[in-house]
Amino acid sequence: MSNTAKLTLEGKDYELPTLVGTEKEKAIDIRALRKNSGYITFDPAYVNTGACQSAITFIDGEKGILRYRGIPIEELAEHSTFTEVAYLLIYGHLPNKKELGTLKEGLTRHSMIHEDMKNFYNGYPSTAHPMAILSAMVGSLSAYYPNVTNPGITEEEMHDNYVRLISKVRTIAAASYKKSIGQPIVYPRNDLSYCANFLYMMFAVPSETYKIDEELVKTLTLLLIVHADHEQNCSTSTVRLVGSSKANLFASISAGICALWGHLHGGANQQVIEMLEKIQREKIPVKKIVEQAKDKNSGFRLMGFGHRVYKNFDPRANILRAACDRVFKKLGIQDPLLNIAKELEQAALEDNYFVERKLYPNVDFYSGILYRAMEIPTNMFTVMFAIGRLPGWIAHYRELNADPDFKIGRPRQIYTGEVQRSYVPIDKRR
C-alpha cells in the first residue's frame, strides 16, 4: 500500500508524504503544500490538525484511553503520586528512588516565594479571581529567576526552574486564598509531602493545630494526577505557541494559565458547581436543564459535558465519579449536589440530543464535587486544575525546545476583507 497521499488541484497531481505514530495514528504531511501548489489547508479551531509530534500523552477518544508516557491513567491514579507523575511526564520514565528523592528534596527547597512577591497580594482587591493572581504571579517569576530568559541556560538550570515552578505554584495559590479571606499567609512546612503541604497552607491558622487528613491528601493526589496532562488541548497548545517564540518558561506557562481559565476549558469546573448549586437553590427539575442545554437560543450548555476528543467516555470522569462515592463514604459526609449531578448525568445520557452528539461527562463534571468535599472554595477550582496541569505544560515546553524541527508557530489564514482601495480624506467620506 502506498504511503503517500495524492492530491489533485487544478488538474495537477501532488504527492504528499504521510506519517504514522507509535499507536498507528496517521497523518498527511502538508508542510510543502503551499510552497508547491499555492494552497493552504483550512482547519479553524484545529479540529483535524496535528501541530506537532509528541511522545508525552496518548489519547484514543473513541475508546476512552488516556496514557501518560504509555502508562494508563487508571494505573497511575491507583498507584502513583503527583510528584512521581510530574517526573514521568517531564522526563519520560518513572523515577527511581534516587531521582524521586532528589525531586522531592527540590520541591521542599523551592517551596517558598520571594518575600518581595508577597507585596503583590496587597495590590489586588479581595474580590480578585485567584486565576488572575496566579497567572500574574507565575509570569512575575521571570523577574525573580532571570536565568530563565538566558538563551544559553543549561538543562540543570532549567530543571531547577521546573521544580521551582511546580513547588511555588502551590504556595502562590494557597497564599492568594489566604489573602482573599483576610488571613495571614501560612508558610510551607519542610516535613510535608507536596499535597499535604498545599492543604496545610490553605487551611492551617496560626492559633490552631492543623491535623493532616490522609484521606484528603489521597483525594488531592488523585485529582492532580488525572489533570496532569492531556496532549494538545487549548492551554497546552497555548504554552507551545507562546514558547515557540522563545518566550521563557514562566511567561509561556502564565499564558497557558490564562487559556485554561476560559469556561469551555478548565473554567468549566467552577461553572459545573455553580450550575448544580443553581439547580438546588431554585429547585429546577433536571429535565428542564437538559431541555435548556439542547436549545441553541438559550446560550446555555450543560457544563462538564462534551469533549473535543472523547466521543465515548472520559476515563478521568469515570475515575472521579467512583472516587466521589468512596471519599464521601470515608469522610462520612453527604453532598446533595452529588445526587443532582448523578441525576443530571442520567437524564442527559438518556436523551437523544446527547447520545447523537456523543456528549458524555468530562473531567470537570465530578472534580468540583470532590473539591467541595475538601472545602476548597469554588473560585479556586480552576487554580486546582492549573496546579495539576503544570507538569504537563512543562513537559510540552521541554519537548518543544528539544525538537530538532523547532520553528515559531505561525498559522496562515484565508483573508476575507476588502481588496485594495484608496485612502479617503476625512472631508470626502460619507
Catalytic residues: 307, 364
Which CB sits closer to ligand CMC, 19 or 355? 355
* Residue 64 is a binding residue for ligand CMC (CB under 6 A): no
- What distance in Å separates the CA atoms of residue 321 and residue 342, rounded to the nearest whole number? 9
Which CB sits closer to ligand CMC, 164 or 301? 301
Which CB sits closer to ligand CMC, 163 or 242? 242
Question: Which residues between 252 and 281 bind ligand CMC (CB under 6 A)?
Answer: 264-266, 268
- Chosen residue from 293, 340, 374, 394 binding ligand CMC by CB under 6 A: 293
Closest by CA to 237, choosing from 259, 217, 222, is: 259
* Residue 361 is a binding residue for ligand CMC (CB under 6 A): no
At 83, the amino acid letter reads: T
**Residue 74 host element (H or E):** helix 73-79
3-state secondary structure of 65: strand
Which CB sits closer to ligand CMC, 87 or 305? 305
Total residues interacting with ligand CMC, rule: CB under 6 A: 20
* Closest residue to ligand CMC: CB criterion: 306
Q: Could you tell me the smallest distance in angstroms from the CB atom of residue 116 to ligand CMC?
A: 34
* Residue 230 is a binding residue for ligand CMC (CB under 6 A): yes
Q: What are the phi and psi torsion angles at 407 (to 5°)?
A: -150, 150
CB-CB contact of 170 with 111 (8 Å): yes
- Chosen residue from 364, 372, 392, 394 binding ligand CMC by CB under 6 A: 364
Binding mask 133-162 for ligand CMC (x = CB under 6 A): ------------------------------
Distances in whole angstroms, Cα of residue 262 to Cα of each of 235, 383, 386? 10, 12, 12
Closest by CA to 304, choosing from 243, 365, 252, 253, is: 365
Q: Could you tell me the smallest distance in angstroms from the CB atom of residue 311 to ligand CMC?
A: 9
Grid cell at residue 138: 507565575
- What distance in Å separates the CA atoms of residue 226 and residue 357, rounded to the nearest whole number? 25
CB-CB contact of 47 with 60 (8 Å): no
Which CB sits closer to ligand CMC, 231 or 403? 231
Name the one range near ligand CMC by CB under 6 A: 15-23, 249-257, 280-288, 362-370.
Answer: 362-370
Which CB sits closer to ligand CMC, 188 or 361? 361
Name the one range near ligand CMC by CB under 6 A: 123-131, 174-182, 200-208, 302-310.
Answer: 302-310
- What distance in Å separates the CA atoms of residue 165 and residue 288, rounded to the nearest whole number? 44
- Chosen residue from 305, 366, 381, 393 binding ligand CMC by CB under 6 A: 305
Q: What are the phi and psi torsion angles at 6 (to 5°)?
A: -110, 135
- What distance in Å separates the CA atoms of residue 18 and residue 9, rounded to the nearest whole number? 18
Grid cell at residue 87: 517526573
- Burial class for 364, CB neighbours closer than 10 Å (0-12, 13-18, 19+): buried
Q: Could you tell me the smallest distance in angstroms from the CB atom of residue 290 to ligand CMC?
A: 9
- Chosen residue from 95, 188, 304, 368 binding ligand CMC by CB under 6 A: 304
**Interface residues toward ligand CMC, by CB under 6 A:** 230, 233, 264-266, 268, 293, 301-308, 357, 359, 362-364
